[in-house]
């Protein structure tokens, strides 16, 4: 159970920011005893890999805070975030952490299952994020983009740490996510209705003239 929560938390965090969970796992494995990566995932703690992740994270952090650019970034990240989610789920769920001491039997011999699960989870969270950002940008004239991005990054950091050190807290995220999805859907529906009303009003005004 804890392995599943660890993998889910890391994959969900990758849906918000592809590089934070991978970097978190790699740094903790390299510089602490809190995480011990399984044999096939030792490359995540390699110095060059960590350096590349830091550079990619810096680019992501800047791009995601600029209106319009953030939308382009979300399109590109449609491939990157699910991929990172699969890697994070596979590495995290198979790692030995302070809360998971025997992950060897998790998912049995089907090593591809954690990766597929991570891809789907990250893709779902990414979809919600990508749908919510235009709503936030339109409602705040773009001012909300850096604020929303900062909150997402912070959530990704906290989610990654919680997944590795306190996986039970991932349940709170799983409970909160459906409520956020409902909010996004309602806001998008309201925006569509407002646009239709505005077009109808303009058409009526032109007809009068």
Q: Give me the domain span that covers residue 159.
A: 2-177
Q: Supply angle C-alpha 78, 82, 86, rounded to 5.
A: 165
User: Could you tell me if residue 14 is inside a domain?
Assistant: yes
**For each of the chain's 209 residues, which pLDDT tens digit applies?**
677 888 889 999 999 999 999 999 999 999 998 888 887 889 999 999 999 999 999 999 999 888 888 888 888 899 999 999 999 998 887 777 766 666 655 555 566 788 888 999 999 989 888 888 877 777 777 677 788 888 889 889 988 998 888 887 777 777 766 666 566 566 666 766 666 666 666 666 655 55
User: Could you tell me if residue 187 is inside a domain?
Assistant: no
User: Could you tell me if residue 196 is inside a domain?
Assistant: no
User: Could you tell me if residue 11 is inside a domain?
Assistant: yes
Separation CA 8–CA 169 (nearest Å): 11
Question: What region, left, alpha or beta, does residue 2 occupy, with left being phi > 0 and alpha being psi -120 to 50 degrees?
Answer: alpha
User: Could you tell me if residue 203 is inside a domain?
Assistant: no
**The total number of structural domains that make up the chain:** 1
Return the pLDDT at 135.
76
User: Could you tell me if residue 139 is inside a domain?
Assistant: yes
Whether pTM exceeds 0.85: no
Return the pLDDT at 122.
93
Backbone angles phi, psi at 101, to 5 degrees: -100, -15
Q: Can you read off the two tokens belonging to residue 67? A: 């209106």
Return the pLDDT at 98.
66
User: Could you tell me if residue 18 is inside a domain?
Assistant: yes
Sequence-separated (6 or more) residues with CB below 8 Å from residue 65: 145, 146, 149, 150
User: Could you tell me if residue 37 is inside a domain?
Assistant: yes
């Amino acid at each position: 159970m804890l392995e599943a929560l660890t993998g889910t938390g890391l994959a969900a965090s990758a849906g918000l920011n592809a590089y934070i969970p991978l970097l978190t796992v790699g740094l903790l494995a390299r510089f602490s005893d809190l995480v011990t990566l399984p044999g096939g995932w030792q490359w995540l703690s390699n110095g060059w890999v960590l350096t590349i992740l830091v550079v990619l994270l810096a680019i992501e952090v800047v791009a995601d805070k600029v209106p319009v650019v953030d939308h382009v970034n979300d399109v590109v990240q449609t491939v990157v975030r699910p991929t990172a989610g699969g890697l994070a789920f596979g590495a995290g769920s198979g790692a030995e952490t302070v809360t998971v001491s025997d992950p060897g039997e998790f998912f049995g011999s089907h090593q591809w299952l954690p990766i597929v699960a991570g891809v789907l989870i990250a893709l779902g969270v990414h979809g919600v994020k990508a749908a919510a950002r235009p709503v936030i940008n339109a409602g705040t004239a773009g001012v909300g983009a850096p604020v929303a991005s900062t909150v997402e990054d912070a959530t990704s950091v906290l989610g990654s740490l919680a997944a590795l050190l306190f996986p039970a807290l991932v349940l709170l995220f799983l409970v909160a996510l459906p409520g956020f999805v409902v909010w996004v859907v309602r806001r998008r529906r309201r925006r569509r209705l407002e646009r239709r009303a505005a077009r109808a009003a303009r058409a009526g005004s032109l007809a009068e003239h």
